[in-house]
């Protein structure tokens, strides 16, 4: 072989290596959401994916396989743990079977930015590492509360005789008020209401229009309570396999995602007005009773977490109240 030919082969080899390295640089992560696609609690995650796919060209991309049609909501946490998916939009309430402490996330109402500074995120991260083999990338909706929606009017804070659809978020408080609970994924709420299987349900102040629930809802009980938590979780092996540049794309997008929290106040206001127009009337109690309800919700929420996870539960409570 002549020198020229050797050089050509060498160059071709180098180019092939460079191309190979280039390809290895871009990874594609598989994503799911535990809420219906394009609805309130998936929307911002979908915007996050668009941002990552724009900013992460040649580095990291996200392949969005969708919501509950692709995977049942209560299985999403385990799918992250076992790396069936790499990244997910999911609330802690949906994986308390794997991590009882996840039930405490609704009781922590500080923004993600504050939780990063005061040690809360560090503990939440550690728990997700240990129990879910996951990295906790972002916290959404800290400033969106929950309500109990009803189809029967009640005139005192007593749910005796009422059957309420719950998830772990509302189970303890509904039972403490004397109600009976039925746990279902969001996808089953409409039918349960339509058939009169339940007299009410827990849900956030926003989002009931996404699934047509206004058609089967008469009242919204005040006051609002707790704090919605929807996290972005990344399988820990996936996370550890990323290089610094790839992690930066995701970290920056996570901070951007958390900044979207500023949109929530207006959204809450407009959804409350929309509920009124749709004929959903508030059920209101005196200031004293409302305060007692909130105190009870907080107390039973923490008691339940601490019972299941005494040490971590107490630590989380101390951080939440700091
Ligand atoms: O009501 C629910 O399905 C639920 O528990 C929840 C929690 C956080 C965000 C969205 C839904």
CATH number at 146-227+278-320: 3.40.190.170
- Check whether 233 has a pLDDT greater than 80: yes
Q: Is 205 in the pocket of ligand 1 (CB under 6 A)?
A: no
CA of 166, closest atom in ligand 1: 1
Q: Is 169 in the pocket of ligand 1 (CB under 6 A)?
A: yes
Q: Where in the chain is the domain with CATH 3.40.190.170?
A: 25-143+228-265, 146-227+278-320
Q: Measuring from atom 5 of ligand 1, which residue has the nearest CA?
A: 167
Query: Architecture of domain 25-143+228-265 in CATH?
Result: 3-Layer(aba) Sandwich (3.40)
Average pLDDT on 53-58 reads 98
| Of 43, 88, 91, best ligand 1 pocket probe by most atoms within 8 Å of the beta carbon | 91
Residue 52 φ then ψ, to 5°: -60, -40
**Which residues are registered as beta bridge partners of 225?**
146
- Check whether 286 has a pLDDT greater than 60: yes
pLDDT attached to residue 25? 83
Of the chain, the end-to-end C-alpha distance in Å amounts to 75
Q: Is 202 in the pocket of ligand 1 (CB under 6 A)?
A: yes
Percent of the chain with pLDDT over 90: 91
Q: Is 239 in the pocket of ligand 1 (CB under 6 A)?
A: no
CA–CA separation, 57 and 52 (whole Å): 8
pLDDT attached to residue 12? 52
Q: Measuring from atom 3 of ligand 1, which residue has the nearest CA?
A: 186
CA of 93, closest atom in ligand 1: 5
Average pLDDT on 1-5 reads 56
- Check whether 10 has a pLDDT greater than 80: no
- Check whether 187 has a pLDDT greater than 80: yes
pLDDT attached to residue 59? 98
Residue 145 φ then ψ, to 5°: -95, 180
pLDDT attached to residue 153? 96
3-state secondary structure of 182: strand
Q: Is 49 in the pocket of ligand 1 (CB under 6 A)?
A: no
Calculate how far, in angstroms, residue 68's C-alpha sits from the geometric centre of ligand 1. Answer: 13
DSSP string, 64-100: EEESTTTS-GGGHHHHHHTTSSSEEEE-GGGGTTT-G
DSSP 37: T
CA–CA separation, 64 and 31 (whole Å): 5
3-state secondary structure of 321: helix
């Amino acid at each position: 072989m002549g020198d020229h030919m050797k050089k050509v082969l060498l160059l071709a080899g180098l180019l092939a290596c460079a191309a190979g390295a280039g390809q290895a640089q871009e990874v594609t992560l598989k994503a799911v959401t535990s809420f219906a696609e394009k609805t309130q609690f998936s929307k911002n995650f979908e915007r996050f994916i668009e941002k990552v796919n724009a900013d992460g060209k040649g580095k990291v991309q996200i392949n969005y396989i969708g919501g509950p049609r692709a995977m049942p909501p209560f299985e999403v946490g385990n799918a992250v743990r076992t790396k069936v998916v790499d990244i997910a939009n999911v609330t802690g309430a949906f994986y308390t079977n794997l991590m009882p402490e996840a039930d405490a996330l609704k009781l922590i109402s500080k923004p993600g930015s504050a939780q990063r500074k005061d040690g809360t995120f560090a503990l939440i991260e550690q728990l997700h590492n240990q129990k879910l083999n996951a990295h906790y990338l972002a916290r959404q909706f800290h400033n969106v509360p929950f309500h109990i929606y009803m189809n029967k009017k009640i005139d005192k804070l007593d749910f005796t005789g009422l059957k309420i659809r719950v998830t772990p978020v509302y189970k303890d408080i509904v039972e403490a008020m004397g109600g009976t609970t039925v746990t279902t994924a969001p996808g089953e709420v409409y039918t349960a209401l339509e058939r009169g299987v339940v007299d009410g349900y827990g849900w956030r102040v926003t989002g009931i229009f996404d699934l047509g629930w206004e058609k089967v809802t008469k009242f919204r009980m005040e006051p609002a309570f707790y704090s919605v938590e929807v996290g972005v979780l990344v399988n820990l092996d996936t996370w550890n396999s990323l290089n610094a540049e790839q992690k930066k794309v995701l970290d920056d997008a996570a901070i951007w995602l958390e900044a979207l929290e500023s949109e929530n106040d207006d959204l809450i206001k407009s959804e409350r007005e929309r509920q009124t127009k749709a004929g959903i009337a508030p059920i209101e109690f005196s200031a004293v009773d409302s305060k007692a309800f909130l105190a009870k919700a907080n107390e039973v929420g923490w008691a339940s977490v601490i019972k299941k996870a005494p040490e971590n539960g107490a630590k989380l409570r101390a951080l939440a109240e700091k």
